[in-house]
Amino acid sequence: MKRVLLVWAASAFAAVTFGSTVDRGPGCPAATTKQGPTPYNPVWGECLRFWPMWEALWSNMAACTNDGYFLTGQYGSFDRFYVYTTMGSYVRSVRASGVLGTCDGTGKTHLGSGYFASITPADTGVSFWRYSAGGYPGSVPTISWPHLRGRGISWDGKYYYVSNFNTPIFKVNSSGSVVGTVPGSPWDCALYGHATPVRPGGNAPYIYVTCHKNEWLAEHSLRTGVRVRSFSVYKCSGGLDIGWDDGYLYYVQQTTPCRWAIVYDGDFPTSVKPTSLGKVKAVFR
């Protein structure tokens, strides 16, 4: 049965033709405005900061490292990673190869803080890369799971979650085997990036997903699939990750002529001192 499920998963995550155009899902509106994001209501979903991404080609991947960096990678014609601080300062680009593109990522993996993962709907699927402190991603993947192709990936401390536009979100163990799906997904949505909080031994309560069909970011129960809450996001979505210790959601969107990385308050429990009005209100509510 597991073999059948894996084969079906591989066929569901069909490869696409990569290039310099935006990776827009079914029903995603064209986005051409130059206007930047606007603030949202505190606490959850408050827009804390954002910065333009002026890479030469589309970069959708979002991966937060344990030492305060934010990694992105090109959707197609991949040849490097781009490194920012999580405050939005551009640091460097690092040449890399071995995948056709990166659509989403996660800075948290079963291999520890010295690695991050990316995903593509092309033949390489999920790839794991080394990461060195100070904002230095590896130049070639060390492990690949080509049978798991898609546009969204996250890790909850025990399981990965992998999806692709209109497929269910697959639950995957640390060996790369599909062991289930998130109930109800994809919720009539063109799923793109997503993220999960990390818990010891897994058992994260929620998954956070972005959608191309409607412009929102939503929290869903991993146990039941029920949507708990959502908020509007700015134009067409890309990758999504959760910061290591700040309780924030790091989101990439595909608006032209420049792309934005946007940081929203995720209202997660954290030991970090509040740095926003939303978090101050959260302490006293």
pLDDT value at residue 35: 46
What are the structural domains, with CATH classification, of the chain? 2-284 (2.120.10)
Sequence-distant (6+) residues with CB within 8 A of 59 are: 53, 72, 73, 74, 75, 82, 102, 238, 252, 259
pLDDT of residue 273: 40
Could you read off the pLDDT of 55-97 as tens digits, one per residue? Answer: 766 788 999 999 999 999 988 889 999 999 999 999 999 999 9
Cα 138 from Cα 136, distance rounded (Å): 7
The pLDDT of residue 126 is above 90:
yes
Which residues touch 185 (CB under 8 Å, ≥6 apart)?
Answer: 163, 168, 169, 191, 209, 220, 225
pTM for this structure? 0.85
The half-sphere exposure of 74 on its side-chain side, counting CA atoms within 13 A, is 22
Q: What is the pLDDT of residues 129-183, one digit of tens each?
A: 999 999 999 999 999 999 999 999 999 999 999 999 989 999 999 999 999 999 9
